[in-house]
Amino acid sequence: MGSTAHHDREGVGRRDLIKRSAALGLVAVPGMGLMSACASSGGGGQSKAKEGKKTAKNPLGVNDTAKMEFVLFDGGFGKEYAQDAVKIYEKDFPKATVKFAATQKIQSTLQPRFNQGNPPDLIDNSGAEQMDMGVLVGKTQLADLTPLLDAPSYDDPSKKVRDTLRPGIVEMGQFDGNPVWILYYAYTVYGVWYSQKALDSLDAEYPKTWDEMLQVCEKAKKKGMAGWTYAGKYPYYIPFSLYPMIGKVGGREVLDAIDNLEPNAWKHPAVKACFEAYYELFKKGYILRGTPGLDHIQSQTAWAKGEALFIPNGSWVENESANVIPKDFDLAVSAPTGIDSGDKMPFGTIWASGGEPFIVPSKAANPEGGMEQLRIMLSEASSKNFTAKVKSLTAYNGGTSGIDLTPGLKSGVAALQLAGSNVVNPRLQDWYVQLQKEKIGVSGLGEMMAGRLTPAEAIKKIQGFADEAAKDTSIKHYKHQ
Q: Is 314 part of any domain?
A: yes
Q: State the pLDDT at residue 3.
A: 37
CB 96 within 8 A of CB 65: yes
Closest-CA residue to 463 (of 268, 241, 245): 268
- Both 40 and 74 in a single domain? yes
- Both 133 and 37 in a single domain? yes
- What is the rounded CA–CA span in Å between residue 317 and residue 331? 10
Q: State the pLDDT at residue 7.
A: 36
Q: State the pLDDT at residue 44.
A: 55
- Both 241 and 369 in a single domain? no
- Both 88 and 138 in a single domain? yes
Beta bridge partners of 187: 354, 393
- Both 125 and 178 in a single domain? yes
Q: Is 45 part of any domain?
A: yes
Pairing mode, strands 393-394 and 308-314:
unpaired
Closest-CA residue to 41 (of 108, 114, 109, 107): 114
Return the beta strands (E) in 211-330 as ranges: 226-228, 308-314
Q: State the pLDDT at residue 406.
A: 92
- Both 180 and 109 in a single domain? yes
- Both 20 and 144 in a single domain? yes
CB 106 within 8 A of CB 129: yes
Q: Is 2 part of any domain?
A: no
Q: Is 175 part of any domain?
A: yes
Q: Is 276 part of any domain?
A: yes
CB 153 within 8 A of CB 164: yes
- Both 253 and 386 in a single domain? no
Q: State the pLDDT at residue 43.
A: 46
CB 28 within 8 A of CB 101: no
- Both 18 and 150 in a single domain? yes
Q: Work out how many domains the chain is built from and give that number.
A: 2
Structural domain boundaries enclosing 167: 8-188+354-404
Q: DSSP string covering 402-413, please?
A: TS---HHHHHHH
- What is the rounded CA–CA span in Å between residue 348 and residue 9? 31
- Both 176 and 194 in a single domain? no
Q: Is 113 part of any domain?
A: yes
Q: Is 417 part of any domain?
A: no
- Both 324 and 260 in a single domain? yes
CA 440, 192, 174, 133 dihedral sign is positive
This prediction's pTM: 0.79
CB neighbourhood size of 477 (10 A): 14
Element housing 461 (H / E): helix 455-471
- Both 319 and 181 in a single domain? no
Torsional class of 127: left (φ above 0), alpha (ψ -120 to 50), beta (otherwise): left
- Full pLDDT tens readout for the chain, 481 residues: 333 333 333 333 333 443 444 444 443 333 333 333 344 444 456 889 898 999 999 999 999 999 999 999 988 788 999 999 999 999 999 999 999 999 999 999 999 999 999 999 999 998 778 888 878 887 899 999 999 999 999 999 999 999 999 988 998 998 877 799 999 999 999 999 999 999 999 999 999 999 999 999 999 999 999 999 999 999 999 999 999 999 999 999 999 999 999 999 999 999 999 999 999 999 999 999 999 999 999 999 999 999 999 999 998 888 888 899 999 999 999 999 999 999 999 999 999 999 889 999 999 999 999 999 999 999 999 999 999 888 889 999 988 888 889 999 999 999 999 999 999 999 988 888 789 988 999 999 999 999 999 999 999 999 999 999 999 998 888 888 7
CATH number at residue 325: 3.40.190.10
Q: Is 131 part of any domain?
A: yes
Q: State the pLDDT at residue 47.
A: 85
Read off φ and ψ for residue 476, nearest 5 degrees.
Answer: -75, 135
